[in-house]
Amino acid sequence: MMALSAFFLMFFLLQHFAINILSVFSPNVFNEVSYFMGTNPLIQYVMQPVLLFGIVYHFVMGFILELKNRKAQTVKYAKNNGAANSTWVSRNMIYTGLFILLFMVFHFNDFWVPEIVDKFIEGNSQVGKDYHHHVVTMFENPVRIGVYVLAFVFLALHLLHGFNSAFQSVGANNKYTKGLKGFGKAYALLIPLGFIFIALFHHFNH
Amino acid sequence: MNLTLKIWRQKGPQDKGQMVDYKVTDISEHMSFLEMMDVLNEQLINSGDEPVAFDHDCREGICGMCSMYINGEAHGPDRGVTTCQLHMRMFKDGDTITIEPFRAAAFPVIKDLVVDRMAFERIQQAGGYISINTSGNTQDGNAIPISKHAADEAMDAATCIGCGACVASCKNSSAMLFVGAKVSQYALLPQGQVEAADRVKNMVAQMDLEGFGNCTNTGACEIECPKGISLENIARMNREFLKANVKG
Amino acid sequence: MALDSKVPKGPIKDKWTDYKNHIDLVNPANKRNIDIIVVGTGLAGGSAAATLAELGYNVKAFAYQDSPRRAHSIAAQGGINAAKNYQGDGDSTYRLFYDTVKGGDYRSREANVYRLAEVSANIIDQCVAQGVPFARDYGGLLDNRSFGGVLVSRTFYAKGQTGQQLLLGAYSALNRQIARGKIEMFNRHEMLDVVKVDGKARGIIARNLITGEIERHSAHAVVIASGGYGNVYFLSTNAMGSNATAAWKIHKKGAYFANPCYTQIHPTCIPRSGDYQSKLTLMSESLRNDGRIWVPKNMDDVLAIREGRKKPTELSEEERDYYLERRYPAFGNLVPRDVASRAAKERCDAGYGVNATGEAVYLDFKTAINRYGKEQAKISGITNPSEAKIYELGQALIEEKYGNLFQMYEKIVDENPYKTPMMIYPATHYTMGGVWVDYNLMTTVPGLYCIGEANFSDHGANRLGASALMQGLADGYFVLPYTIGNYLSNDIRTGKISTDTTEFDEAEKEVKNKIDFFINNNGSKSVDYFHKRLGKVMWDKVGMARTEEGLKEAMSEIKAIREEFWKEVKVPGTAAEMNPELEKAGRVADFLELGELFAKDALDRNESCGGHFREESVELDGEQKGEAKRNDKDYAYVSAWEYKGEPADAVLHKEELEFKDIELKQRSYK
């Protein structure tokens, strides 16, 4: 189930990235797409709750899994050479995940909460809203940039193990999946790098 | 060579247990690790102490009985070997070696380095077989041709010696590699198809019942497995499990 | 008591079928009321327990390991014979029967061997049905290899771990019955005595190896499948825990022990490297197909090599003594196991051993690498290949054939066998002798059965390669389940056997007394100290070559070690806990008695046959001068020994062997 929610989140991430990268090329297109995403009822009332559920589910399951797994080994080794047989990221998904969770709170506070307040509580019209401007202003603060960049580094680490791990968990691992593994690594590095690029781009270009 | 050994001593299942230091001298680099342990035990007996209890039997890497966690790794630092095949030339004069039992809630310590691996037995009793009577009234061995590829792959899964290094190495104490190998051996052969769905469901259910953790795909088990059982077997089990549950 | 082998009448090929048609059966409802104890869950015990449970009996199975899958049957590498004739090369039940009797140097019971050959084909079908992943060819059919000097390809295999795969097959059948509740499995339990009621075997006393508790278990019949006694030599290819205790305890309770002197010493094992050595590792016999065995011709070279001044590769062809090729030009390096082992010992005894302990000879692949390299060069159309290229091509081919063995050797010895010759030396591997059984596999105690390596049965004085697995499974799957029913048909009205009887009281008391003795003895020497001393006497005087004088010395030396053992043995810890030293003490105590009977049997048999070689019995002239000489006139019998207190007082009973279907011949490999 971790794997299935992971697939969903990874797909969302790709979509999120695709829209964000538009902000680099064309403020107008970005605004249009954002407007569509922000007002289309299907997106708003169906996809958004699903996404929220997906996020919460992935985190809650992650925690339950971690707790169960800790219970499976009650006495710890006095000496454990984990580095000899596995990668650091694979053993520390819970920590990279936790950091990403904290970042999500921060990130929601930056974009999602103001948007919801604006849209539903104050009931302002969304027509012609300059989403692009909001993005650019947010990224003026160097501290925020630092947090975002760091978060994407963690995301990369999380994905570096998570992407291929998800495929393994649903049973896709045989000699035909060699290419998939390479793709997974590329995905895990390129998407977060892309996000970092977007953030830095807006910071330094405006 | 001379060595310092830090060994887990525990009198019985209820005892709290602790690490104890020992010194051994004049260890030959040609000794196997267990022969070094024999030297220590002889020394302990002669000085009136209790020898260290550890599991071992065939001492040629096939029975799967030996089970130590040496310097933070199951079966020690060498690859593709069990503890009995580990040789002292992997260590240097003056080294300190930490020796612990396999740790997992499902593998309780019986004494010192000896653990109880009955959980593995129960998992196999839950479905690790083909329901066929041994009456001898079976069809000819060549009646169903099996492709060389399938036979070889089943053989690779079947090389598992049930030592539990996968569980010991896993940070979650997951038994997925072991169960995956057992499920795979039968899933790959036509003889095993009839009961495939029930088998994987029952074995996985028993595995969960025994208190093993879940797989988070760190891959440690595959690296530490003395027989090189591949992670593909876990994927295959997951596939079989999904298939069995979708079919209902 | 006169020995009755109970071989059915009639022509040999009909005996087993007729027998099965005429035995008494137990109806399914009654089987539910009958209990059977099986001690040992290797190939023989595991397969027997599973089959008996499938038939409907209640089975209690015992293993000293934590799982039946760890029994030492698992270590068999090469394969399992079966007269399937899939290759169409002329194999048949008769030919397998003939090869086995001849290979056993005409010291086995014809009817048993024929039955073994008859059921062999069924074993393969059974194992395939269980999911044993035998090697297949590209057409999807079962593959065969040839083995151990027979003329057909009848050996089925699963990579280099046929034993493990077959055992896992039997183990899966066992698990299925455990899950059904038909088998109660007692892991980490050791049988310490058999209990007889009114002369019949009715139960056992066992120790729980985790808690130390002594338990009573009753049954209508007891089956011993506890394996061989090779560990009497201390060093052998057996597992550390392999022991003769179950077999020896039943011997002391009235089961005759047959042919203890028949032991197989395997020629290709990795030599000992020092006194700390705990066990020896076997390298598959198949290596002799391509390796040439030699020692240096000159003593100077031997010393230079031992001291590291010279490398074996520096010796020229003229400086090497390929002694097997020299002595046996016809068979060369492919002489049978016993002959190859003795020849290696002869050279090492003469001082030509090539390692520090003086107990090693070379097994050299240089010639084979060269030959294969040239062939491969021709195949790939390389003209005038360089030496290095030939070597590279040859090495690749050798690696394909024996890669895993070469790797295993390198792991243990830390030398690259592609670059420098392997060192090998013979080691105890298998014991053909064991508890005497009749055609029903029943011992001389009613209701007490013995199967697998633990009995003396089918291999005579020498076992052929890939036949041990065959015998274990034949006994367990196909023979015992029939024969035991015939006996149990008289027990359907007996009802549950009580463990609350004087017989059980006494047996338990005896066991407890012995354990208390060990714990309280407070001697000065460890169990291993005595075991190693016993092993040395056995190896030096009751090993590959035996003399009257040496055997007499061995008997008195073993007796002396035994007496000292009972005075000086030290067992730390307590009885009420897991105590590996206590387990060992009991086993070594039994080896110390068995060893003496072993020597006594070897002394009695003043002939050379199979694994038993008496220096007094050799051909004195002619082409066979110096070779083993069998004496069919005086020794064509099975020696079955009856226990009378001290091993030296054992009484010999002879089962005369009749050969109606095979003509007796002297083996020749010149």
pLDDT digits (tens, 9 = 90+) for A176-202: 777 888 888 899 999 999 999 998 998
Integer angstrom CA distances of residue C604 from C252, C263, C455, C663: 20, 15, 20, 25
Closest-CA distance, B61 to chain A, in angstroms, reads 20
Which of C129, C165, C572 is opposite residue B132, by nearest beta carbon?
A: C129
Does 3.40.50.150 match the CATH number of domain B3-111? no
Domain hosting C316: range is 267-427
**How far is CA C213 from its chain centroid?**
31
Which of B35, B111, B159 is opposite residue C278, by nearest beta carbon?
A: B35
Chain B neighbors of C411, CB-CB under 8 A? 81, 85, 87
Query: Given an 8 Å threshold on Cβ–Cβ distance, is C131 in contact with B110?
Result: no
pLDDT-based confidence at residue C624 (cuts at 50, 70, 90): confident
Which of C74, C165, C414 is opposite residue B89, by nearest beta carbon?
A: C414
Per domain, the residue ranges of chain A are: 2-72+83-205
For residues C428 and C281, give the distance between their C-alpha atoms in angstroms, rounded to a whole number: 10
Radius of gyration of chain B, Cα coordinates, nearest whole angstrom: 20
Q: Does the pLDDT value for residue C539 go beyond 90? A: yes
Out of A48-52, B83-87, C125-129, C267-271, which region has the weakest mean confidence (pLDDT)?
A48-52
Per domain, the residue ranges of chain B are: 3-111, 117-247
Beta bridge partners of C292: C364
Q: Does the pLDDT value for residue C413 go beyond 80? A: yes
Average pLDDT over residues C319-328: 94
Mean pLDDT of chain C: 94
- CATH number for the domain spanning C404: value is 3.90.700.10
Mutate to test the interface with B, among C119, C120, C240 (most CBs of B within 10 A): C240
Chain B neighbors of A77, CB-CB under 8 A? 69, 72, 100, 103
Residue appearing with tokens 């038993």:
C612
pLDDT score at C331: 82
Which of A69, A76, A173 is opposite residue B235, by nearest beta carbon?
A: A173
Residue C69 touches chain B, beta carbons under 8 Å: yes
Closest-CA distance, C583 to chain B, in angstroms, reads 12
Chain A neighbors of B179, CB-CB under 8 A? none
> Looking at the domain B117-247, which fold is it?
Fumarate Reductase Iron-sulfur Protein; Chain B, domain 2 (1.10.1060)
pLDDT score at A6: 85
Q: What is the DSSP string of B140-204?
A: PTTSS---HHHHHHHHHHHT-----HHHHH-TT-B-HHHHHHHHHHHHTSGGGSTTHHHHHHHHH
Flag whether C touches A (3+ CB pairs, 8 A cutoff).
no
Dihedral of CA B89/B94/B95/B101: which sign?
positive
- CATH number for the domain spanning C562: value is 1.20.58.100
For residues C168 and C131, give the distance between their C-alpha atoms in angstroms, rounded to a whole number: 9
pLDDT-based confidence at residue C179 (cuts at 50, 70, 90): very high
Whether C555 and C421 share a structural domain: no
**pLDDT tens digits, B16-51:** 999 999 999 999 999 999 999 999 999 999 999 999
Query: Given an 8 Å threshold on Cβ–Cβ distance, is A72 in contact with B77?
Result: no
Which of A84, A87, A173 is opposite residue B231, by nearest beta carbon?
A: A173
Mutate to test the interface with B, among C84, C136, C277 (most CBs of B within 10 A): C136
Chain B neighbors of A76, CB-CB under 8 A? 103
Residue C563 tokens read as 């007496």
Instruction: Give SS3 for C537.
Output: helix
Chain C neighbors of B128, CB-CB under 8 A? 172, 175
For residues C414 and C280, give the distance between their C-alpha atoms in angstroms, rounded to a whole number: 16
Q: Which chain B residues have any C-beta within 8 angstroms of a chain A C-beta?
A: 6, 8, 19, 69, 71-73, 77, 98, 100, 103-106, 169, 171-174, 211-220, 223-224, 231-232, 234-242
Residue C415 touches chain B, beta carbons under 8 Å: no
For residues C457 and C436, give the distance between their C-alpha atoms in angstroms, rounded to a whole number: 7
Whether C410 and C557 share a structural domain: no
Q: Does the pLDDT value for residue C579 go beyond 70? A: yes
pLDDT score at B248: 65
Average pLDDT over residues A127-155: 88
Query: Given an 8 Å threshold on Cβ–Cβ distance, is A168 in contact with B217?
Result: yes
Task: Give the amino acid at C232.
Answer: V
pLDDT score at A1: 66
Query: Given an 8 Å threshold on Cβ–Cβ distance, is B235 in contact with A93?
Result: no
Q: Which residue of B has its CA nearest to C48?
A: B134
Query: Given an 8 Å threshold on Cβ–Cβ distance, is B28 in contact with C274?
Result: yes
Whether C405 and C518 share a structural domain: no
Closest-CA distance, A165 to chain B, in angstroms, reads 6
Q: Does the pLDDT value for residue C466 go beyond 70? A: yes
User: Considering C427, C461, C486, which residue would you say is the last residue of a domain?
Assistant: C427
Average pLDDT over residues C71-79: 91
User: Considering C395, C427, C459, which residue would you say is the last residue of a domain?
Assistant: C427
Chain C neighbors of B113, CB-CB under 8 A? none
Flag whether B touches C (3+ CB pairs, 8 A cutoff).
yes
ipTM score above 0.90: yes
Chains adjacent to A (≥3 CB pairs closer than 8 angstroms) = B
CB-based contacts of B14: which residues, under 8 Å, 6+ apart? Answer: none
pLDDT score at A37: 87
CB-based contacts of C459: which residues, under 8 Å, 6+ apart? Answer: C100, C103, C104, C108, C262, C432, C467, C468, C471
Counting residues of chain A whose pLDDT is more than 70, the rounded percentage is 99
